[in-house]
Structure 1
Amino acid sequence: MDTNVSNSWEQRDMQAVFHGFTDLGTLNAEGPVILTHGDGIRVFDVHGKSYIDANSGLWNNVAGFNHQGIIDALCAQARKFPGYHAFFGRVADTTVALSEKLIELSPFDAGKVYYTNSGSEANDTVVKMLWMLHRRNGQPQRRKIITRVNAYHGVTVATASMTGKAYNAEFGLPLPGFLHADCPHYWRFGLEGETELEFSARLARNLEELILKEGPDTIAGMFAEPVQGAGGVIVPAEGYFEAIRPILRKYNIPFIADEVICGFGRTGEMWGSVKYDMQPDIIVASKCITAGYFPMGAVILGKAFCDALMKVSEEAEEFPHGFTAGGNPLGSAVALKSLAVIEDEGLLGNVNKVSGRFMARLKKLGEHKYAGEARGVGLMGAVEIVADKKTKQPLPGHLQISERIANKALKKGLICRPLGQAIVLGPPFIITEAEIDQIFDILEETVDEVFADVGL
């Protein structure tokens, strides 16, 4: 970090901004990147340097960083009716229209939509819905929430407890009653000689054993991402959801699909839960719903669950929960336009058009001597770095290998994400095959240079 430039943007950041989910050693050594604008899949810093953002911001800027149609929709709504809430039976017309569109796009025949400001808040909201429903139905003991190891569901106290990541121990989490079933990562956790279908069957048996051990009448619901995004793009093993779904139905446990990352096209289908035949009762959405142009989360309730929740809410006279900006008319207008761009302007089609090139280049990178697994689907992928391909042994933690790769790539004008010992990519849906080649050309060169630097 250049400390000789007095009062630079970087120095002002270091003095005034507290960064979350940031390697502070890197931040202190290299300084922050202060961005001013974007163009297509590129963003630009205060010095005019451009970067290909191979992670769509944080999975969400899928239409690029300057889509004029979305910007125009935001401006038009701001001039018409810039802000309101969704309390007390009052709501903006754009929010009603968005609700209709989300139900139409969903795999549900009917239902209702509840709005939040983020995916974390949406998942947190569903937990309260489950608790209220069971309590009102005479089962107050049904409070336990099942997720999976390596899952990511958010950062509120409840959703951090759902998130199966070791770092939440820093907060004394998870809270009691939040249970973590097996991670469906066959490459990492499959037994020697075990097929993917056998692996999925074993995880299903383990899930049923967990439910029986805890007591089926104590389980409020199970949440699952179609693909574990922040877990490192963990694509479910073959037959996984087909194996666990009957168990949840057997014990009448509501099933919630966390589509915050997968929803609206990331996997090549509109919904990851459709691609992997999850058949959930509830879908949680965020990120791509507004193409990253406005903070919004949504809980899409299937009809059966919605009817049950409406019944107990009427008994209580209300559902006593909400957010001031939930269902904001600006966000609703942006979401309507963003979904139209994804659906009608060819973005979803482009994901399927270019994903073959993306996966081919990902697999090629996976042939590197120190690449253990290259995995992904649609326009989301990861390469896991290992010390030994055969044993899958990770490299020593002190090498911070993925952080080194991401930092060197940044200097070359490429933004990618280190996650554990993996490098994760999730480029915007507007990306071209030529731009995909640019990403992987830089990444291949970077990986070789990093391993040369560490002497491997």
Structure 2
Amino acid sequence: MTTPQSWEARAEEYSLYGFTDMPSVHQRGTVVLTHGEGPYVFDTNGKRYLDSNSGLWNMVAGFDHKGLTEAAKAQYDRFPGYHSFFGRMSDQTVMLSEKLIEVSPFDRGRVFYTNSGSEANDTMVKILWFLHGSEGNPKKRKILTRWNAYHGVTAVSASMTGKPYNEVFGLPLPGFIHLTCPHYWRFGAADETEAAFVQRLARELDETIQREGADTIAGFFAEPVMGAGGVIPPAKGYFQAIQPILKKYGIPLIADEVICGFGRTGNTWGSQTYDFTPDAIISSKNLTAGYFPMGAVILGPDLADRVQDAVEKIEEFPHGFTASGHPVGCAIALKAIDVVMNEGLAENVKRLAPRFEAGLQELAKNPNIGEYRGVGFMWALEAVKDKPTKLPFDASLSVSERIANTCTDHGLICRPLGQSIVLCPAFIMTEGQMDEMFEKLEQALKQVFAEVA
């Protein structure tokens, strides 16, 4: 067998790609990266790219933050690894749990650690099943989410994810129910006001609970802003309409803040941005600013007390991961929270968010941009063939993939999602870098729309 020589050939020969457009890989090759500086990354050919996706939403402090790497090095020297089983955990784990409750919307609670947001959502489902079974309600197992939501890739969290690509795995599993996506621009009826659209979704939720039976529903999971669904903020008043219904039936509301949490929407939590208090929060990504794989389930006071009672009944919570509460990850997370909240990153998001929106508003004047949407430092542009009717391009044209590939040619990394282009840069982005992002994106849009429109 002849060994491939180039980085691109070696990647394609030995790697199984996740969420990757394979025709693009076969035609263009893999971009193999070597290092980063600030919000930029560099490939094996020395080409520099402005990463407006901040890795995968998570590298919010950039790719070379000395404080974060030093925190990791110091903890590796001090105590390089441990678990959180059998009544033992590191001091960093204890301190991080204290910090997470301190910065959460809760006055008290409990934290459980995982290695990713997918595992955290999976764990939260198991917690709900465990809790309801302990309280004498073993039928309360159904999980409510929304179409176009993204909650992860484990069998359970993928079942929660309302995306058709999971059908290739035979998912969702039974008992996972997807409600209407709260995207008014796309799913509102022609003569329907935004308020009427919200009331329709609230009625759908109430009717679904009555049809399925409140005594069979374990919880409702929702991203404050749908991230991997294409950056979809909720219709105005959505959470205020649905939360009273959930409370009426005693169904916990779980905020999946994997993407929104720690500053992405302009506040510490997306639930703060949209003015609701969940019963629990799922955190990951920005929790460690991308410098360590970690997720967390943050239980509010009611669920924390009830789960602890369930644990006491059987004398343990039979769940966990080898690296749950890893001391290095916790040390990095403590530093990352400090960096975002106290080094000006959160303030920079608030300061530049209006400039971000203004730049997108200008790009949206293009006749093939149907909508721009988002909040804080997470936005999307939706490509359309016909703006008045919102008619999308034929899927065979792969318009968003073309735009993203053309951006890459110009030294800009952005993300295609459906027919949208997503921009979610690092919180350290400067005004000049934002201008660079918009200039390169505008060039790509003009080039691609000239080819397909």
User: Normalization by structure 2: what TM-score?
Assistant: 0.99
Aligned residue number for residue 202 of structure 1: 200
Select the residue among 143, 153, 156 that pairs with 2:151: 153
Q: How does 1:215-230 map to 2 (within 5 A)?
A: 215-230=213-228
Contact 1:358 1:433 in 2 (8 A): no
Q: Secondary structure at the match of 1:321?
A: coil
Q: What amino acid maps onto 1:220 in structure 2?
A: A
Aligned residue number for residue 278 of structure 2: 280
Q: Secondary structure at the match of 2:97?
A: helix
Whole-angstrom distance in 1 between the partners of 2:199 and 2:80: 51
Aligned residue number for residue 347 of structure 1: 345
Aligned residue number for residue 26 of structure 2: 28
Contact 2:4 2:13 in 1 (8 A): no
Whole-angstrom distance in 2 between the partners of 1:198 and 1:378: 26
Deviations 1:120-173 (A, max 9, x none): 000000000000111111110000000000000000000000000000000010
Aligned residue number for residue 407 of structure 2: 409
Aligned residue number for residue 382 of structure 1: 380
Aligned residue number for residue 58 of structure 2: 60
Aligned residue number for residue 191 of structure 2: 193
Q: What amino acid maps onto 1:61 in structure 2?
A: M
Q: Secondary structure at the match of 1:38?
A: strand
Deviations 1:87-137 (A, max 9, x none): 011000011111110000000000011000000000000000000111111
Whole-angstrom distance in 2 between the partners of 1:255 and 1:6: 51
- How far off its partner does 1:8 sit? 1.0
Aligned residue number for residue 97 of structure 2: 99
Contact 1:222 1:253 in 2 (8 A): yes
Q: How does 1:26-425 map to 2 (within 5 A)?
A: 26-425=24-423
Q: What amino acid maps onto 2:278 in structure 1?
A: P
Contact 1:54 1:425 in 2 (8 A): yes
Q: Secondary structure at the match of 2:49?
A: strand
Q: Secondary structure at the match of 1:52?
A: strand
Contact 1:122 1:298 in 2 (8 A): yes
Whole-angstrom distance in 1 between the partners of 2:356 and 2:109: 36
Q: Secondary structure at the match of 1:22?
A: coil
Whole-angstrom distance in 2 between the partners of 1:229 and 1:288: 13
Structure 2 residues not aligned, in runs of 5+: none
Number of residue-to-residue matches in the alignment: 452
Whole-angstrom distance in 2 between the partners of 1:22 and 1:428: 22
Q: What amino acid maps onto 2:167 in structure 1?
A: A
1:431 aligns to 2:423 (yes or no) = no
Contact 2:4 2:10 in 1 (8 A): no
Q: What amino acid maps onto 1:330 in structure 2?
A: V
Moved over 3 A (4+): none
Contact 1:257 1:278 in 2 (8 A): no
- How far off its partner does 1:32 sit? 0.4
Contact 2:292 2:329 in 1 (8 A): yes
- How far off its partner does 1:192 sit? 2.0
Whole-angstrom distance in 2 between the partners of 1:49 and 1:404: 20
Whole-angstrom distance in 2 between the partners of 1:286 and 1:363: 30
Whole-angstrom distance in 2 between the partners of 1:396 and 1:68: 46
Whole-angstrom distance in 2 between the partners of 1:173 and 1:209: 24
- How far off its partner does 1:15 sit? 1.1
Q: What amino acid maps onto 1:16 in structure 2?
A: Y
User: Normalization by structure 1: what TM-score?
Assistant: 0.98
Whole-angstrom distance in 1 between the partners of 2:34 and 2:353: 29
Structure 1 residues not aligned, in runs of 5+: none
Whole-angstrom distance in 2 between the partners of 1:82 and 1:278: 38
Whole-angstrom distance in 2 between the partners of 1:142 and 1:45: 50
- The root-mean-square deviation of aligned C-alpha atoms, in Å, is 1.1
- How far off its partner does 1:278 sit? 2.4
Whole-angstrom distance in 2 between the partners of 1:307 and 1:416: 43
Q: Secondary structure at the match of 2:267?
A: coil
Q: What amino acid maps onto 1:256 in structure 2?
A: I
Deviations 1:38-95 (A, max 9, x none): 0000000011100000000000000000000000000000000010000011000011
- How far off its partner does 1:337 sit? 0.5
Q: What amino acid maps onto 1:101 in structure 2?
A: K
In structure 2, the CA distance between the partners of 1:435 and 1:202, relative to structure 1 (3 Å rule), is same
Q: Secondary structure at the match of 1:123?
A: helix
- How far off its partner does 1:193 sit? 2.8
Deviations 1:230-259 (A, max 9, x none): 000000000000000000000000110000
Deviations 1:351-399 (A, max 9, x none): 0011111111111111111001000100000000011111111011111
Whole-angstrom distance in 2 between the partners of 1:406 and 1:417: 6
- How far off its partner does 1:433 sit? 1.3
Q: Secondary structure at the match of 1:383?
A: strand
Whole-angstrom distance in 2 between the partners of 1:41 and 1:291: 12
- How far off its partner does 1:453 sit? 2.4
Whole-angstrom distance in 2 between the partners of 1:318 and 1:366: 54
Whole-angstrom distance in 1 between the partners of 2:45 and 2:362: 34
- How far off its partner does 1:6 sit? 5.7
Whole-angstrom distance in 2 between the partners of 1:202 and 1:393: 23
Q: What amino acid maps onto 2:389 in structure 1?
A: T
Whole-angstrom distance in 2 between the partners of 1:445 and 1:28: 24
Aligned residue number for residue 8 of structure 1: 6
